Amino acid sequence: LRIVLDAMGGDNAPKAEVKGAIAAVKAFKEITVILVGKQQEIEKILTEEKAGQEIRARLQIVNATEVVTMSDEPAKAWKQKTDSSLAVAARYVRDGKGDALVSAGNTGAVLVASLFGIGRIAGVQRPAILSPLPSNCPSGITCLVDAGANVDCKPTHLAQFAIMGDLYSKHIFKVEKPRIGIMSVGEEDEKGNELVFATRAITDKLGLNTIGNIEGRDSFNGSADVIVCDGFVGNVILKTAEGAGSFVLGLIKSAVKSGGPIALLGALLMGGAIKLIKKKTDPNAYGGAPLLGIKKPVIISHGSVSSEGVKNALKVAANWVSAHINEAIESEIKKVEFKSE
Protein backbone atom coordinates (compact mmCIF):
# COMPACT_ATOMS: atom_id res chain seq x y z
CA LEU A 1 0.00 0.00 0.00
CA ARG A 2 1.69 3.12 -1.29
CA ILE A 3 0.25 6.25 0.30
CA VAL A 4 1.19 9.54 -1.32
CA LEU A 5 1.70 12.29 1.25
CA ASP A 6 1.73 15.99 0.41
CA ALA A 7 4.71 16.77 2.65
CA MET A 8 4.30 20.57 2.41
CA GLY A 9 0.59 20.89 3.22
CA GLY A 10 0.05 21.65 6.91
CA ASP A 11 0.99 24.53 9.18
CA ASN A 12 3.81 22.43 10.64
CA ALA A 13 5.00 21.08 7.29
CA PRO A 14 7.19 19.37 6.40
CA LYS A 15 8.22 18.40 9.95
CA ALA A 16 4.86 16.96 11.11
CA GLU A 17 4.45 15.16 7.78
CA VAL A 18 7.91 13.56 7.73
CA LYS A 19 7.75 12.53 11.39
CA GLY A 20 4.25 11.14 10.80
CA ALA A 21 5.45 9.16 7.81
CA ILE A 22 8.31 7.66 9.83
CA ALA A 23 5.91 6.73 12.63
CA ALA A 24 3.48 5.18 10.14
CA VAL A 25 5.98 2.91 8.42
CA LYS A 26 7.31 1.88 11.85
CA ALA A 27 3.85 1.04 13.16
CA PHE A 28 2.20 -0.45 10.08
CA LYS A 29 4.13 -3.09 8.19
CA GLU A 30 1.90 -2.94 5.11
CA ILE A 31 2.44 0.77 4.38
CA THR A 32 5.02 2.57 2.28
CA VAL A 33 4.86 6.36 2.02
CA ILE A 34 5.68 8.56 -0.95
CA LEU A 35 6.67 11.96 0.42
CA VAL A 36 6.12 14.75 -2.12
CA GLY A 37 7.74 18.13 -1.51
CA LYS A 38 11.04 19.98 -1.26
CA GLN A 39 13.51 17.14 -1.30
CA GLN A 40 16.26 18.89 0.68
CA GLU A 41 13.94 19.90 3.51
CA ILE A 42 12.52 16.40 3.70
CA GLU A 43 15.98 14.80 3.69
CA LYS A 44 17.09 17.16 6.45
CA ILE A 45 14.26 16.09 8.75
CA LEU A 46 14.86 12.41 7.99
CA THR A 47 18.46 12.94 9.13
CA GLU A 48 17.38 14.88 12.24
CA GLU A 49 14.96 12.10 13.09
CA LYS A 50 17.70 9.50 12.57
CA ALA A 51 15.61 7.47 10.16
CA GLY A 52 17.53 4.21 9.61
CA GLN A 53 18.01 2.19 6.44
CA GLU A 54 14.97 0.01 7.03
CA ILE A 55 12.69 3.04 7.45
CA ARG A 56 14.14 4.91 4.48
CA ALA A 57 13.59 1.88 2.28
CA ARG A 58 9.85 2.33 2.80
CA LEU A 59 9.88 6.11 2.31
CA GLN A 60 10.17 7.40 -1.23
CA ILE A 61 10.83 11.09 -1.82
CA VAL A 62 9.47 12.87 -4.89
CA ASN A 63 10.71 16.41 -5.40
CA ALA A 64 8.25 19.27 -5.96
CA THR A 65 9.49 22.84 -6.08
CA GLU A 66 6.31 24.78 -5.27
CA VAL A 67 3.94 24.97 -2.29
CA VAL A 68 0.22 25.80 -2.25
CA THR A 69 -0.48 28.12 0.70
CA MET A 70 -3.63 28.54 2.76
CA SER A 71 -4.26 31.91 1.09
CA ASP A 72 -3.93 30.60 -2.48
CA GLU A 73 -7.12 30.62 -4.54
CA PRO A 74 -7.75 26.88 -5.21
CA ALA A 75 -8.51 26.97 -8.95
CA LYS A 76 -5.68 29.40 -9.62
CA ALA A 77 -3.23 27.31 -7.59
CA TRP A 78 -4.15 24.23 -9.64
CA LYS A 79 -3.60 26.06 -12.93
CA GLN A 80 -0.49 28.02 -12.02
CA LYS A 81 1.45 26.03 -9.42
CA THR A 82 1.82 22.93 -11.56
CA ASP A 83 4.92 21.82 -9.67
CA SER A 84 3.40 22.20 -6.22
CA SER A 85 3.68 19.26 -3.81
CA LEU A 86 -0.11 18.91 -4.00
CA ALA A 87 -0.28 18.88 -7.82
CA VAL A 88 2.62 16.46 -8.13
CA ALA A 89 1.09 14.21 -5.45
CA ALA A 90 -2.31 14.22 -7.18
CA ARG A 91 -0.77 13.33 -10.54
CA TYR A 92 1.23 10.57 -8.87
CA VAL A 93 -1.99 9.02 -7.60
CA ARG A 94 -3.75 9.56 -10.94
CA ASP A 95 -0.95 7.78 -12.77
CA GLY A 96 -1.25 4.74 -10.53
CA LYS A 97 2.12 5.31 -8.86
CA GLY A 98 0.36 5.58 -5.50
CA ASP A 99 -2.87 4.17 -4.03
CA ALA A 100 -4.15 7.12 -1.98
CA LEU A 101 -3.48 10.79 -1.21
CA VAL A 102 -3.10 12.49 2.17
CA SER A 103 -2.74 16.27 2.47
CA ALA A 104 -3.07 18.79 5.31
CA GLY A 105 -3.07 21.65 2.83
CA ASN A 106 -5.63 24.25 1.76
CA THR A 107 -8.93 22.29 1.71
CA GLY A 108 -10.27 23.97 -1.42
CA ALA A 109 -6.99 23.32 -3.24
CA VAL A 110 -7.00 19.62 -2.24
CA LEU A 111 -10.59 19.42 -3.48
CA VAL A 112 -9.70 20.98 -6.85
CA ALA A 113 -6.53 18.88 -7.26
CA SER A 114 -8.51 15.71 -6.48
CA LEU A 115 -11.39 16.59 -8.77
CA PHE A 116 -9.31 17.68 -11.76
CA GLY A 117 -6.15 15.73 -11.06
CA ILE A 118 -7.60 12.35 -10.04
CA GLY A 119 -11.25 12.58 -11.08
CA ARG A 120 -14.61 11.40 -9.80
CA ILE A 121 -15.76 7.82 -9.44
CA ALA A 122 -18.06 6.95 -12.36
CA GLY A 123 -21.61 8.01 -11.51
CA VAL A 124 -20.68 10.25 -8.58
CA GLN A 125 -22.08 13.74 -9.17
CA ARG A 126 -20.23 15.58 -6.41
CA PRO A 127 -17.39 14.49 -4.12
CA ALA A 128 -18.11 15.21 -0.46
CA ILE A 129 -16.06 15.71 2.68
CA LEU A 130 -16.94 13.40 5.55
CA SER A 131 -16.12 14.65 9.03
CA PRO A 132 -15.85 12.02 11.79
CA LEU A 133 -17.45 13.62 14.87
CA PRO A 134 -16.93 12.29 18.39
CA SER A 135 -20.35 11.18 19.62
CA ASN A 136 -22.19 8.86 21.99
CA CYS A 137 -22.60 6.27 19.22
CA PRO A 138 -21.56 2.68 19.97
CA SER A 139 -18.66 3.24 17.53
CA GLY A 140 -17.85 6.56 19.22
CA ILE A 141 -18.06 8.34 15.86
CA THR A 142 -20.86 9.97 13.90
CA CYS A 143 -19.96 10.66 10.26
CA LEU A 144 -21.10 14.08 9.01
CA VAL A 145 -21.29 14.29 5.21
CA ASP A 146 -20.99 16.76 3.46
CA ALA A 147 -18.84 18.79 5.85
CA GLY A 148 -18.14 21.59 3.41
CA ALA A 149 -17.23 20.57 -0.14
CA ASN A 150 -20.57 21.59 -1.74
CA VAL A 151 -22.36 24.68 -0.46
CA ASP A 152 -25.30 24.36 -2.88
CA CYS A 153 -26.68 20.85 -3.29
CA LYS A 154 -29.38 19.03 -5.22
CA PRO A 155 -31.34 16.14 -3.66
CA THR A 156 -29.43 13.57 -5.76
CA HIS A 157 -26.15 14.88 -4.34
CA LEU A 158 -27.37 14.32 -0.80
CA ALA A 159 -28.66 10.86 -1.69
CA GLN A 160 -25.22 9.95 -3.01
CA PHE A 161 -23.63 11.33 0.16
CA ALA A 162 -25.86 8.92 2.09
CA ILE A 163 -24.61 5.95 0.01
CA MET A 164 -20.97 6.97 0.37
CA GLY A 165 -21.28 7.75 4.10
CA ASP A 166 -22.93 4.39 4.71
CA LEU A 167 -20.05 2.49 3.09
CA TYR A 168 -17.38 4.56 4.85
CA SER A 169 -19.00 4.08 8.26
CA LYS A 170 -19.33 0.33 7.62
CA HIS A 171 -15.76 -0.27 6.51
CA ILE A 172 -13.78 2.26 8.52
CA PHE A 173 -15.76 2.44 11.77
CA LYS A 174 -17.05 -1.15 11.56
CA VAL A 175 -20.69 -0.20 12.01
CA GLU A 176 -22.70 -3.13 10.70
CA LYS A 177 -25.81 -1.25 9.62
CA PRO A 178 -25.09 2.46 9.90
CA ARG A 179 -28.15 4.48 10.92
CA ILE A 180 -28.46 7.21 8.30
CA GLY A 181 -30.17 10.46 9.34
CA ILE A 182 -31.05 13.43 7.15
CA MET A 183 -30.34 16.72 8.94
CA SER A 184 -33.55 18.69 9.38
CA VAL A 185 -35.40 20.99 11.76
CA GLY A 186 -37.40 18.25 13.48
CA GLU A 187 -37.65 14.48 13.60
CA GLU A 188 -41.15 14.33 12.16
CA ASP A 189 -41.42 13.55 8.45
CA GLU A 190 -43.35 16.77 7.82
CA LYS A 191 -40.51 18.95 9.23
CA GLY A 192 -37.88 20.17 6.81
CA ASN A 193 -37.13 22.41 3.86
CA GLU A 194 -37.59 21.68 0.16
CA LEU A 195 -34.15 20.06 -0.09
CA VAL A 196 -34.88 17.71 2.83
CA PHE A 197 -38.25 16.61 1.44
CA ALA A 198 -36.83 15.96 -2.03
CA THR A 199 -33.83 14.12 -0.56
CA ARG A 200 -36.01 11.92 1.65
CA ALA A 201 -38.06 10.97 -1.40
CA ILE A 202 -34.87 9.37 -2.78
CA THR A 203 -33.04 8.15 0.33
CA ASP A 204 -36.06 6.41 1.85
CA LYS A 205 -36.00 4.02 -1.11
CA LEU A 206 -32.27 3.26 -1.25
CA GLY A 207 -32.44 0.21 0.99
CA LEU A 208 -30.13 1.83 3.55
CA ASN A 209 -30.81 1.76 7.28
CA THR A 210 -32.35 5.23 7.15
CA ILE A 211 -33.82 6.65 10.34
CA GLY A 212 -35.49 9.65 8.70
CA ASN A 213 -34.94 13.21 9.86
CA ILE A 214 -32.62 14.14 12.69
CA GLU A 215 -31.87 17.48 14.36
CA GLY A 216 -28.80 19.51 15.25
CA ARG A 217 -28.70 18.09 18.76
CA ASP A 218 -28.38 14.59 17.31
CA SER A 219 -24.91 15.42 15.99
CA PHE A 220 -23.36 14.27 19.24
CA ASN A 221 -25.92 12.22 21.14
CA GLY A 222 -25.38 9.06 19.13
CA SER A 223 -28.79 9.00 17.42
CA ALA A 224 -27.20 8.45 14.01
CA ASP A 225 -24.02 6.89 12.62
CA VAL A 226 -24.17 9.00 9.47
CA ILE A 227 -25.62 12.50 9.15
CA VAL A 228 -26.39 13.75 5.65
CA CYS A 229 -26.63 17.45 4.82
CA ASP A 230 -25.37 19.95 2.28
CA GLY A 231 -21.88 21.35 2.77
CA PHE A 232 -23.13 24.74 3.91
CA VAL A 233 -25.12 23.24 6.78
CA GLY A 234 -22.31 20.76 7.51
CA ASN A 235 -19.76 23.53 7.85
CA VAL A 236 -22.10 25.51 10.11
CA ILE A 237 -22.63 22.43 12.32
CA LEU A 238 -18.90 21.80 12.72
CA LYS A 239 -18.04 25.40 13.54
CA THR A 240 -21.07 25.98 15.78
CA ALA A 241 -20.17 22.90 17.81
CA GLU A 242 -16.62 24.15 18.14
CA GLY A 243 -17.89 27.59 19.20
CA ALA A 244 -20.39 26.21 21.71
CA GLY A 245 -17.74 23.91 23.22
CA SER A 246 -15.28 26.79 23.61
CA PHE A 247 -18.01 28.97 25.12
CA VAL A 248 -18.86 26.35 27.76
CA LEU A 249 -15.18 25.82 28.63
CA GLY A 250 -14.71 29.61 28.76
CA LEU A 251 -17.59 29.93 31.25
CA ILE A 252 -15.96 27.24 33.42
CA LYS A 253 -12.67 29.14 33.33
CA SER A 254 -14.27 32.46 34.27
CA ALA A 255 -16.25 30.84 37.08
CA VAL A 256 -13.02 29.36 38.41
CA LYS A 257 -11.26 32.73 38.25
CA SER A 258 -14.03 34.47 40.17
CA GLY A 259 -14.59 31.54 42.53
CA GLY A 260 -11.38 31.90 44.51
CA PRO A 261 -9.03 29.18 45.74
CA ILE A 262 -11.67 26.51 46.33
CA ALA A 263 -12.99 26.66 42.79
CA LEU A 264 -9.40 26.73 41.55
CA LEU A 265 -8.72 23.53 43.46
CA GLY A 266 -11.84 22.11 41.86
CA ALA A 267 -10.53 22.99 38.43
CA LEU A 268 -7.20 21.33 39.17
CA LEU A 269 -8.96 18.19 40.27
CA MET A 270 -11.07 18.35 37.11
CA GLY A 271 -7.94 18.29 34.95
CA GLY A 272 -8.64 14.69 33.95
CA ALA A 273 -12.04 15.65 32.60
CA ILE A 274 -10.63 18.47 30.49
CA LYS A 275 -7.97 16.09 29.15
CA LEU A 276 -10.68 13.60 28.23
CA ILE A 277 -12.60 16.30 26.33
CA LYS A 278 -9.47 17.34 24.45
CA LYS A 279 -8.72 13.72 23.59
CA LYS A 280 -12.28 12.97 22.48
CA THR A 281 -12.49 16.05 20.29
CA ASP A 282 -8.93 15.93 18.96
CA PRO A 283 -9.02 16.13 15.14
CA ASN A 284 -5.75 14.14 15.10
CA ALA A 285 -7.50 10.99 16.36
CA TYR A 286 -8.65 10.01 12.86
CA GLY A 287 -6.04 11.99 11.00
CA GLY A 288 -8.45 13.93 8.89
CA ALA A 289 -11.58 13.99 6.81
CA PRO A 290 -12.00 11.65 3.84
CA LEU A 291 -12.96 13.18 0.52
CA LEU A 292 -15.50 10.69 -0.80
CA GLY A 293 -16.33 10.19 -4.46
CA ILE A 294 -12.83 10.58 -5.92
CA LYS A 295 -11.37 7.61 -7.86
CA LYS A 296 -8.65 7.09 -5.26
CA PRO A 297 -8.86 7.61 -1.47
CA VAL A 298 -8.07 11.19 -0.44
CA ILE A 299 -7.75 12.33 3.17
CA ILE A 300 -7.74 16.02 4.02
CA SER A 301 -6.04 16.55 7.36
CA HIS A 302 -6.48 19.63 9.52
CA GLY A 303 -3.92 22.36 8.81
CA SER A 304 -2.65 22.07 12.38
CA VAL A 305 -2.22 18.30 12.12
CA SER A 306 0.42 16.74 14.39
CA SER A 307 2.79 13.95 13.39
CA GLU A 308 0.48 11.57 15.26
CA GLY A 309 -2.38 12.88 13.14
CA VAL A 310 -0.39 12.32 9.94
CA LYS A 311 0.39 8.77 11.07
CA ASN A 312 -3.31 8.10 11.72
CA ALA A 313 -4.32 9.61 8.38
CA LEU A 314 -1.86 7.33 6.55
CA LYS A 315 -3.32 4.32 8.35
CA VAL A 316 -6.92 5.29 7.56
CA ALA A 317 -5.96 5.81 3.90
CA ALA A 318 -4.43 2.32 3.84
CA ASN A 319 -7.54 0.78 5.43
CA TRP A 320 -9.68 2.59 2.87
CA VAL A 321 -7.68 1.06 0.01
CA SER A 322 -7.73 -2.44 1.56
CA ALA A 323 -11.46 -2.35 2.20
CA HIS A 324 -12.17 -1.51 -1.47
CA ILE A 325 -14.61 1.21 -0.41
CA ASN A 326 -14.35 3.09 -3.70
CA GLU A 327 -15.20 -0.02 -5.70
CA ALA A 328 -18.25 -0.48 -3.44
CA ILE A 329 -19.26 3.17 -3.95
CA GLU A 330 -19.08 2.77 -7.72
CA SER A 331 -21.17 -0.38 -7.68
CA GLU A 332 -23.80 0.96 -5.25
CA ILE A 333 -24.17 4.27 -7.11
CA LYS A 334 -24.61 2.35 -10.38
CA LYS A 335 -27.60 0.50 -8.94
CA VAL A 336 -29.63 3.70 -8.62
CA GLU A 337 -30.73 5.86 -11.51
CA PHE A 338 -29.78 9.36 -10.44
CA LYS A 339 -31.09 12.17 -12.59
CA SER A 340 -28.12 14.13 -13.89
CA GLU A 341 -27.89 17.65 -12.50
Beta strands 128-134; 210-214: pairing state: unpaired
Q: Which of 29, 54, 272, 340 binds a second copy (CB under 8 A)?
A: 272
Q: How many CB atoms lie within 10 A of CB 188?
A: 10
Among 265, 304, 331, 341, interactor with a second copy by CB under 8 A: 265
The reply to whether 193 sits near a second copy by the rule CB under 8 A is: yes
Contact (CB, 8 A) for 297 and 326: yes
Nearer to a second copy by Cβ, of 138 and 207: the residue is 138
Whole-angstrom Cα distance, residue 113 to residue 83? 12
> Residue 119 or 222: which CB sits closer to a second copy?
222
Judged by beta carbon, residue 198 or residue 323, the one nearer a second copy is: 198
Which one, of 132, 174, 74, lies nearest residue 288 by Cα?
132
Q: Indicate which single residue of 29, 40, 269, 337 sits in contact with a second copy (rule: CB under 8 A).
A: 269
Residue from the set 249, 304, 331, 335 that interacts with a second copy by CB under 8 A: 249
Stretch 163-182 residues interacting with a second copy (CB under 8 A): none
CA atoms within 13 A on the CB side of 321: 23
By CB under 8 A, residue 70 contacts a second copy: no
* Per-residue contact string for residues 139-168; x = within reach of a second copy by CB under 8 A: ---------x--xx----------------
For a second copy, the binding residue among 277, 285, 328, 336 (CB under 8 A) is 277
Query: Per CB under 8 A, does 77 bind a second copy?
Result: no
Pairing of strands 226-228, 289-292: unpaired
Among 138, 245, 327, 335, the residue binding a second copy under the rule CB under 8 A is: 245
Q: Does 270 sit near a second copy (CB under 8 A)?
A: yes
* Residue 268 binding a second copy, by CB under 8 A: yes
CB-CB contact of 316 with 172 (8 Å): yes
- The span from the CA of 111 to the CA of 132, in Å, is 18
Supply the minimum distance, in Å, between the C-beta of residue 54 and a second copy: 40
- Asked if residue 303 binds a second copy (CB under 8 A), the reply is no
Which residues are near a second copy by CB under 8 A? 134-136, 148, 151-152, 183-185, 192-194, 215-221, 230-233, 235-252, 254-256, 259, 262-263, 265-273, 275-277, 280
